[in-house]
Amino acid sequence: MKKTINRKKFIKTAVISGLGASLLTSCGATEKSDITAPNLITSKKYKWKMVTTWPPNFPVLGTGATMYADWVREMTGGRIDIKVYGGGTLVPALEVFDAVSSGAAEMGSGASYYWGGKEASLQFFTTVPFGMNAQQMNSWLYSGGGLELYEAQYARFNLVPFPGGNTGVQMAGWFNKEINTIEDFKGLKMRMPGIGGKVLEKAGGTAVLSAGSELYTNLERGVIDATEWIGPYHDYLMGFHEIAKYYYSPGWHEPGSNLEIIVNKRLLDTLEPDLKAILQTAAFRLNMWILSEFEAKNNEYLQKIITETDVEVRRLNPDILRKMRQYTRETIQELVDSDIKTKTLYESYSKFQKNINEWSQYSESAYYNMMNNG
């Protein structure tokens, strides 16, 4: 009986809400408008700069920033004109955060784990090793309270973040030696940012933070012994198959990396409300486009790597992954114990991950298992 009552209550509430919206719409012509002067559209124009961590015209990431600028220009009727500067052309790639925070540039495009040196908690807004995938990360940000925490943390730096892309599950990286046991990471110099880099160091390796534009040269010259980047599409275009012999999966360190558009908060607050909404909405569109583009291209380019090159595509030994997962737990516990902001943030992240993983056992996981065993 209780279920029937709840169902009737739900339907009744939905009907009343619909009628209320209809009545409000029909009364709109006679009711006094709530629009105030600051909401009025003006002809004032803004010329803004966007600095990025990506090289100029970099596929997907750099071109995505340019597309974002084009969408904003189109939707605002030219009232906001954004000029995009690739990493190193106006400011160094890893100084985007400071440039936007200070107002030297109005906007930036990058990933929060590049700023982990400023505050450890910021890294969690990109990805967590063995953490949530892209779909789950977006769910946490948009519908699970993550975005509110994201905004609160960045406000302290005079910044407003918008989720602005996701790479999906990445590959584990490119190596010039076989990785058969956890011992093979000892002494290894590998480009790996964020929490994953700290986990690598627990395994005996050395994490190196380098901009994307430097990776090929650093790997070729032996500055690093291995590198991770994103996935087959980008990695093929970067040419890593020309200088590395082994390509490993899965990307335990980055299962769903959230990218970001950051805006100077003081400058954003001076904009008319419709312009603020357009900047945010364009970022939402960019978030979906970047993930879709990577997902559409990765298998195509994985096949190119397999059929056109001498690279050996392999999977990491399960024992290695178990050990890395243990090191991840230790690393996160150390971060949580050292900083209350990180503790609060991770409590939200981990609680949401636990709940959504339970749901996925009945949805995504069950479906994939069915397909793989069919």
Q: In this structure, what CATH number is given to the domain that contains residue 155?
A: 3.40.190.170
pLDDT of 10 reads: 46
Structural domains of the chain, count: 1
How many residues can be counted in the chain? 374
pLDDT at 321 over 90: yes
- Tell whether 97 is covered by a domain: yes
- Tell whether 137 is covered by a domain: yes
Phi-psi category of residue 182: left, alpha or beta, with phi > 0 → left and psi -120 to 50 → alpha: alpha
- Tell whether 277 is covered by a domain: yes
Spatial distance between the Cα atoms of 124 and 195, rounded to a whole number of angstroms: 8
**pTM listed for this prediction:** 0.88
- Tell whether 149 is covered by a domain: yes
Radius of gyration of the chain (CA): 23
Residue 97 is encoded by which pair of tokens? 């955060």
Measure Cα distances from 153 to 118, 225, 270, 364 in Å. Answer: 12, 35, 20, 32
Its domain, for residue 160, covers 46-166+257-295
Q: What is the pLDDT of residues 272-302, one digit of tens each?
A: 999 999 999 999 999 999 999 999 999 999 9
Residue 162 forms beta bridges with which residues? 261
- Tell whether 272 is covered by a domain: yes
- Tell whether 223 is covered by a domain: no
Asked if 112 and 101 count as a contact pair (C-beta separation under 8 A), the reply is no
Sequence-separated (6 or more) residues with CB below 8 Å from residue 364: 135
- Tell whether 265 is covered by a domain: yes
Helix (H) or strand (E) holding 254: none
Spatial distance between the Cα atoms of 42 and 280, rounded to a whole number of angstroms: 19
Residue 248 forms beta bridges with which residues? 173, 314
pLDDT at 364 over 60: yes
Q: What is the pLDDT of residues 18-49, one digit of tens each?
A: 545 444 444 444 444 444 445 556 789 999 99
Spatial distance between the Cα atoms of 34 and 46, rounded to a whole number of angstroms: 26
- Tell whether 74 is covered by a domain: yes
